[in-house]
Amino acid sequence: MELVVRENNAIVVNGNTVNGRTADIAITSHGSDFYFAICAAMAFAGFCFIGLAFRKERRERLFHYITAAVVFVAAIAYFTMGANLGFTPIEVEYSRSNAKVAGTFRSIYYVRYIDWFITTPLLLLDLLLTAGMPWPTISWVILVDWIMIITGLIGALVTSSYKWGYFAFGCLALVYIVYQLVWEARLHARAYGRDVERSFVMCGSLTTILWILYPVAWGLSEGGNVIAPDSEAVFYGVLDFLAKPIFGALLIWGHRDIDPARLGLVIKDYDGDALIHEKRTSVSHISDIN
């Protein structure tokens, strides 16, 4: 009996023609395979984080849930890209002679930016809550992060050299976020103890290094049309794998002995809520009388 190997035919089923235009610079089955592999890794990490959450009391699961949400959203985005969906053909600014990037229209995956619009604020929330940062600061940093993501998307969809103006706006936003992570948030985390500072520095440093590389990936792919879409898949995929599942594993490990209440996150479970307990007692008392 011969073993039948099922081939990935996503590129055939979901072609490169969208909105009346065909992307002649697009992923191959190799790029699709890689996207699906990262999808599987994200989903596996998500179930691991949820499984670890059930080993904690409900009031101590905040970071598990946030981190699991990050990788589950990313898994959906990577499934979409692996299926050769969630993109639109955009005319390139720079025509290249290299056969791998020669052509007129390049696949731009807007679903990647939808993913980032949801997941990067959650990653920042993980970090800034770990540092015990005040909510007004957290809200402001998340707003700046959204500016970074949206300007990156607009720049990717622009066909002229004006795309680099949006790229510059996004880089300025990134500089501010990096400043918060390497300076203000780090100093804030120090005040909560050595274990909190260690957890923040470990995860914050990883995030800072990786996020600085994302504009490089953008400039070589959506911006400059230098590397092929398959190489783009690997570049972004490796960054996302390190920035999400690996980050999440380090964060949850770092929080293993940290009570969220130490960080100002006093979360009451209903078993310990005095008001609900009082209501239950009253109901029980009435039942006894009847």
Strand, helix or coil for residue 193? coil
Are the CB atoms for 240 and 37 separated by under 8 Å? Answer: no
Residues with Cβ within 8 Å of 77's Cβ and at least 6 positions away in sequence, in order, are 86, 111, 112, 114, 115
Nearest one of 16, 44, 10 to 30, comparing CA atoms = 10
Are the CB atoms for 143 and 135 separated by under 8 Å? Answer: no
Torsion of CA 51, 53, 57, 63, to 10 degrees: 180
- 269 pLDDT band (50/70/90 cuts)? confident
Are the CB atoms for 250 and 127 separated by under 8 Å? Answer: no
Domain boundaries defined on the chain: 13-284
Nearest one of 120, 34, 151 to 84, comparing CA atoms = 34
In CATH, what class is 13-284?
Answer: mainly alpha
Higher-confidence residue: 276 or 174? 174
- Give kind and range of the element (H or E) at residue 168: helix 163-179
Are the CB atoms for 87 and 109 separated by under 8 Å? Answer: yes
pLDDT of residue 276: 43
Averaged pLDDT, 239-265: 93
Averaged pLDDT, 129-148: 97
Higher-confidence residue: 3 or 40? 40
Averaged pLDDT, 138-160: 98
- Give kind and range of the element (H or E) at residue 273: none
pLDDT one-digit tens code per residue, 79-88: 999 999 999 9
Averaged pLDDT, 230-252: 98
Angstrom distances, CA of residue 30 to CA of 33, 77, 160: 5, 17, 30
Angstrom distances, CA of residue 104 to CA of 22, 26, 96, 150, 205: 9, 11, 9, 24, 39
Q: Does residue 289 carry a pLDDT above 70?
A: no
At residue 41, φ and ψ (nearest 5 deg) are -65, -40
- Report the phi/psi class of residue 252: left, alpha or beta, with left for phi > 0 and alpha for psi in -120 to 50: alpha
pLDDT of residue 1: 43
pLDDT of residue 283: 44
What letter represents residue 170's amino acid? G
Helices (H) and strands (E) in the chain, counts: 11, 4
User: Could you give the CA distance from residue 178 to residue 92 in angstroms, rounded to a whole number?
Assistant: 30
Averaged pLDDT, 188-209: 95
Which pTM value belongs to this model? 0.89
Tell me what percent of the residues of the chain surpass a pLDDT of 70.
91
